[in-house]
Amino acid sequence: MRARSRPVRVQPRQGVLTPVDAGFWWQLWRDPNHLLLAAPWPVFLAMVAAAYGLVNLLFAGLYLLDASGIGGVAGGGPARFADAFFFSVQTLGSIGYGVLHPVSLTVNLLVSAESLLALLFIALTTGLAFARFSHTVARIRFSTMATVHPYDGVPTLMFRLANERHNTIVEAKLKLFLALDEYSREGLRMRRLIPLTLRRSEGIVFMLVWTAMHPIDPHSPLHGLGPQDLVAARAELLVAFSGIDETLERPIHARHNYPAAQIVFGQRFVDMVEDEGSGHILHFELLDHIEPIEPAQPSSRQARP
């Protein structure tokens, strides 16, 4: 497939450049399989309906080449366009013939051709609909903010994610990258993606909440950077989550981004776990809640990873 020569309008979305042109989906017409899988459901259904209507209109015109070859027409005369169209609908849908039926060789040959086309049309649309319907969507919710505050005496970047389905996700993996602008000595700008090490980047299972933590030690790319430095470098945190849904037995993935404005310093997440007798209560409504930290008065409450 040759590259498109027409420029495509893009804008940053979730850390990557994403096409925003209204006609972007229609530019994929040379790759129909990708188009039908990538287009939104309303667009997909509209394209299927349009193809269905065009096929019936085409064969209705062909049937009218031998208008007398369709029997059962009201009044006993030759078929009109409406008769030929609905006769094509019955043939394409394998509904079976009632009053209208083929009587001539020409119409019978056209019926045979349309029946073969119907097998292919139904098989393709059914397969595409099933592929779209069976596509797994991760219900992973990320906290709206990322925080930076001391943890065990080390400045630590933290953010939280929750499994909204509360089912088991096995082989869960989390990756974190820092995206920022760098300039060469010649003044050339380059957008770099720098991996950030997490205290725990993998889990055997993930069911409820995960607090991701990146220590900002002397080896961290964030070491020595403050809020103004992040804004000046157009810094952004890119998060990628992957795992296997144990219920569906399919891989799932999710991604999120935190621009510099959503990275807050000197605040921490509110504890979501409440002790109750011999058990605990997890408050999912507190996923995004943060509170300031007083350096001189360290709190006894600790964020739970």
Can you read off the two tokens belonging to residue 258?
């935190």
Summarised one tens digit per residue, pLDDT across range 147-176 is 999 999 899 999 999 998 888 999 999 999
Q: Output Rg (C-alpha) for the chain, integer angstroms.
A: 30
- Taking the domain 10-133, which CATH number applies? 1.10.287.70
pLDDT beyond 80 at 7: no
- Cα(23)–Cα(25) distance, integer angstroms: 6
pLDDT class for 247, splitting at 50, 70, 90?
Answer: confident
Q: Where in the chain is the domain with CATH 2.60.40.1400?
A: 140-292
pLDDT class for 302, splitting at 50, 70, 90?
Answer: very low
- Cα(23)–Cα(36) distance, integer angstroms: 14
| Class of CATH domain 140-292 | mainly beta
pLDDT class for 280, splitting at 50, 70, 90?
Answer: confident
Residue type, 30: R
Contact assessment for residue 182 and residue 189, using Cβ atoms and an 8 Å cutoff: yes
pLDDT beyond 50 at 299: no
Q: Where in the chain is the domain with CATH 1.10.287.70?
A: 10-133
**Region 100-108: what's the mean pLDDT?**
91
- pLDDT above 70 covers a percentage of the chain that reads 87
- Cα(149)–Cα(160) distance, integer angstroms: 14
Bridging pattern class, strands 202-206 and 169-183: antiparallel
Q: Which residues contact 49 (CB under 8 A, 6 or more apart)?
A: none
Return the pLDDT at 298. Answer: 45
pLDDT class for 295, splitting at 50, 70, 90?
Answer: low
Q: Which residues contact 125 (CB under 8 A, 6 or more apart)?
A: 48
**Side-chain half-sphere exposure of 78, counting CA atoms within 13 A:** 8
pLDDT beyond 60 at 21: no
